[in-house]
Amino acid sequence: MAGRHPDIETMAAGNPGQYGMDPAQSATPSAQLQAQLIHALATIAILGALTFNLFLCFVNTRIMPVSESHVMMCEILLIGCAFLVAFDRRLDIYLILALFVSYMLLLFALRGVADIKSLRDVFIPVAFYFAGAKIQNVRLADRLVALSVSIVLVIALFEYFLLETYLDFFNVLGYYMARGTVSPEDTFGQTRGLFISGIRPEPRSLLPFLGQHRVSSVFLEPVSAGNFGAIIYAWALFRGGMRFRFPVMAAALAFTVLADARFGFFTCIVMTLGLPFYRFVPKVVWLVLPFLMLAVIAAYGLTIGAEGGPNDVAGRLKVTAAILIDLDLSVVLGSTATSIFTADSGFAYTLTSFGIFGFIGLWAALIFAPLKDAKAWSFHSMIVIYLLLLMLISNSFFSIKTAALMWFILGTADRVDWTGVQAVEKLEKAASRLRRTTASV
């Protein structure tokens, strides 16, 4: 291939995708077509997961009413696309799915009721993680991150500066009412506007001069915008050789601030401060940490008799504590369902959905996921921190809006040879400088 550095050609000859290059560059025509189709399908699944709620909101506002069934259908199609990308001859994905589904069917039989949402909650990480692990293409991951950030930032600025025009096309409140997520009682009869958390009743925490409007962008609610900002920031922080790395990082912080997402901003700080220490923390510490946190929060609830609290971190901890001390042993074991509202506590939601043994199994699968290169552990650790902190206040980490891209890039990071990626990027930079020097002579 003319114009490429010969050393790059040699390094990428085996599996170019693992070195951050397009596999189709050194493949047969049929393999090129297959790689292009897989990449296109992955792109559709990830960008579709990011934007389908915005699309349905537009449809509900300007074309026809939508319902929760439309949302479910979109999610099924997107998860199906991810599974089509992920499935191959490796047995690991099939064994994981078989084990998980068998375990959940046992719980459903014991409870006497099926909870399809709990199946979907785990299908999302399995499908998108293994899709990234199969493709193993750093540049595809970088492109998806950059494109996602661009879409989110453009819509965020549109919403912030042209709110009334935005609502003419995307009546967010009407969309959530059509889905049944919000009732007229919650909105005091209002049928047009932002999501109920789109306006902060108290002054902003981040840059108060921006006003009380919390920008939601494509996510339609500000919590997910903040979560997404933390995920994107983590990838840009990790990917030293990424093109437009610092603009991507700045954009992630920008829409995190526009959303007044205290959690997202705080998580970015924690992940940055932890960079020098990730390689020194044993995996067993990460394994036991959520269950140690559960024990401490439950003890806290027993001590103070928690009954919930305000909408801040301390209040959410009290909510979790109140839920935990009210749970029966059968609910903790997973054999009995509960009617307690747990969406404001990721710990409580995960525990009641999957039981303690399911929680341990899912968390252990994340912590001990095989890594091709030790460098991947830095990004893996940042995602673990993100999940641990988010579980304190919400179950939104299961949402496909933010989870699809997160699990895809995590799967990519875990299965890529980062030593090869860095070497190729250095050689490409050297080749680029050489071409510029030659052209100027």
Residues 354 and 389 in one domain: yes
Residue 132: inside a domain = yes
Residue 197: inside a domain = no
Residues 249 and 280 in one domain: no
Alpha carbons 383 and 374: distance in angstroms, whole number? 15
Report helix, strand or coil for 243. Answer: coil
CB-based burial, 403-438: b 16+ in 10 Å, e otherwise = bbbbbbbbbbbbbbbbebbbebbebbeebeeeeeee
Residue 2: inside a domain = no
Q: Which helix (H) or strand (E) holds 73?
A: helix 68-86
Residues 151 and 162 in one domain: yes
Note the pLDDT of residue 52. Answer: 98
Residues 32 and 159 in one domain: yes
Q: Tokens 């990234």 map to which residue?
A: 132
Residue 380 CA: distances (Å) to CA of 247, 329, 369, 413: 22, 32, 9, 8
Residues 238 and 291 in one domain: no
Residue 201: inside a domain = no
Note the pLDDT of residue 307. Answer: 66
Spatial CA neighbour of 201 closest among 211, 209, 191, 215: 211
Note the pLDDT of residue 353. Answer: 94
Residues 23 and 132 in one domain: yes
Residues 51 and 144 in one domain: yes
Give the count of domains, the chain: 2
Note the pLDDT of residue 277. Answer: 94
Residue 328: inside a domain = yes
Residues 287 and 381 in one domain: yes
Residue spans of the chain under pLDDT 50: 1-18, 24
Q: Which domain holds residue 357?
A: 275-394
Q: Tokens 């919650």 map to which residue?
A: 186
- In the DSSP assignment, the letter for residue 18 is G
Note the pLDDT of residue 310. Answer: 61
Alpha carbons 418 and 371: distance in angstroms, whole number? 10
Kindly give, in sequence order, each residue whose CB lies less than 8 Å from that of residue 440, ignoring residues fewer than 6 positions away: none
Residues 285 and 158 in one domain: no
Alpha carbons 189 and 200: distance in angstroms, whole number? 19
Residue 433: inside a domain = no
The C-alpha angle 394, 400, 405, rounded to 5 degrees, equals 110
Q: Tokens 């893996």 map to which residue?
A: 380
Note whether 17 and 23 are within 8 A (CB). yes
Note the pLDDT of residue 181. Answer: 87
Note the pLDDT of residue 13. Answer: 42
Residues 259 and 166 in one domain: yes
Residue 186: inside a domain = no
Residues 267 and 302 in one domain: no
Note the pLDDT of residue 302. Answer: 78
Residues 315 and 419 in one domain: no
Residue 10: inside a domain = no
